[in-house]
């Protein structure tokens, strides 16, 4: 299904006058069976899509919480091949997006990676260390399988760069709301509202705010200016603490009807 599955999921959210909620979890953190339990729980919560991180030894975009989850997953023996094999054996209703670094893809073999993603039912990819100048290394293969390449926009990027990223992105645009790496925060960049509003006006696909989103108040505030949120570090923390009710509350906070303040 690929891009079509992602697009349909976002359309259903919009038709219900809700906002999108995409949680991030680390594949293999606690083992792949635990990952499967978390995917099934998030599906029951009614998330829009799930972003599944692949553990990597040098995760340049990740803050301490996600780095620690990646280390735990690597210690469990989690590999990219094992994750794709597991996903192929466990189909899902909700769109699934892999977040991985390009070194892992290159080592795996680009053509084989895309083929195995397709067979595993992967609908989209986020590759944070792949600049748009180098995307040609993989976009041809992704186009054959209709797998979305979801781009990230930085709040510090110049206007021409943001326009090009917004034009190229598929599925949704991942709007980074802070400077630095991932992790729960109490505040965002001073210009975040203007930045998100501008992206939403200039992008033909949904815009989701990510990095630092950790409370229902964050979700409700940021989604006044964009189409939804990605929640990563806080999601990992809540699963570690077995705070399932709090996870449900976070997801539910995106389902409220929103009006621009």
DSSP labels, 150-183: --EEETTS-HHHHHHHHHH--S-EEEE-SSSS--
The two three-digit tokens of residue 63, written as one number: 């803050």
C-alpha to C-alpha distance for 215 and 246, rounded to whole angstroms: 9
- Specify whether 62 is catalytic: yes
CB atoms < 10 A from the CB of 103, how many? Answer: 12
18, 29, 62, 227: the catalytic one is 62
51, 116, 141, 227: the catalytic one is 51
CA 71 to chain centre: 19
Burial code of 111-149, b = ≥16 C-beta within 10 A, e = fewer?
Answer: eebbebbbebbbbbbbbbebeeeebeebbebbeeeebbb
Among 225, 223, 261, 226, which residue's Cα sits nearest to residue 250? Answer: 223
Q: Which residues contact 121 (CB under 8 A, 6 or more apart)?
A: 1, 87, 88, 91, 92, 96
User: What is the CB-side half-sphere exposure of residue 182 using CA atoms within 13 A?
Assistant: 29
- Specify whether 18 is catalytic: no
Point out the residues that are catalytic: 51, 62
């Amino acid at each position: 299904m690929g891009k079509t599955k992602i697009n349909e999921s976002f359309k259903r959210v919009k038709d219900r006058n809700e906002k999108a909620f995409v949680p991030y979890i680390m594949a293999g953190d606690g083992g792949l069976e635990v990952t499967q339990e978390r995917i099934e729980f998030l599906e029951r919560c009614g998330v829009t899509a799930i972003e599944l991180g692949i553990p990597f030894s040098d995760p340049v975009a990740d803050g301490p919480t996600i780095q620690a989850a990646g280390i735990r997953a690597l210690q469990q023996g989690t590999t990219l091949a094992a994750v794709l094999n597991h996903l192929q054996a466990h189909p899902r209703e909700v769109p699934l997006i892999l977040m991985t670094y390009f070194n892992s893809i290159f080592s795996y073999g680009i053509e084989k990676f895309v083929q195995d993603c397709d067979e595993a039912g992967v609908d989209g990819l986020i590759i944070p260390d792949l600049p748009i100048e180098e995307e040609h290394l993989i976009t041809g293969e992704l186009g054959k399988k209709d797998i979305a390449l979801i781009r990230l926009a930085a709040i510090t990027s110049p206007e021409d760069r943001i326009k090009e990223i917004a034009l190229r992105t598929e599925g949704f645009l991942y709007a980074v709301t802070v400077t630095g790496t991932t992790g729960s925060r109490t505040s965002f960049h001073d210009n975040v509202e203007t930045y998100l509003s501008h992206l939403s006006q200039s992008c033909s696909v949904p815009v989701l705010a990510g990095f630092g989103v950790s409370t229902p108040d964050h979700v409700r505030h940021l989604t006044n200016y964009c189409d939804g949120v990605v929640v990563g570090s806080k999601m990992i923390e809540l699963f570690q603490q077995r705070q399932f009710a709090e996870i449900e509350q976070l997801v539910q906070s995106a389902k409220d009807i929103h009006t621009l303040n």
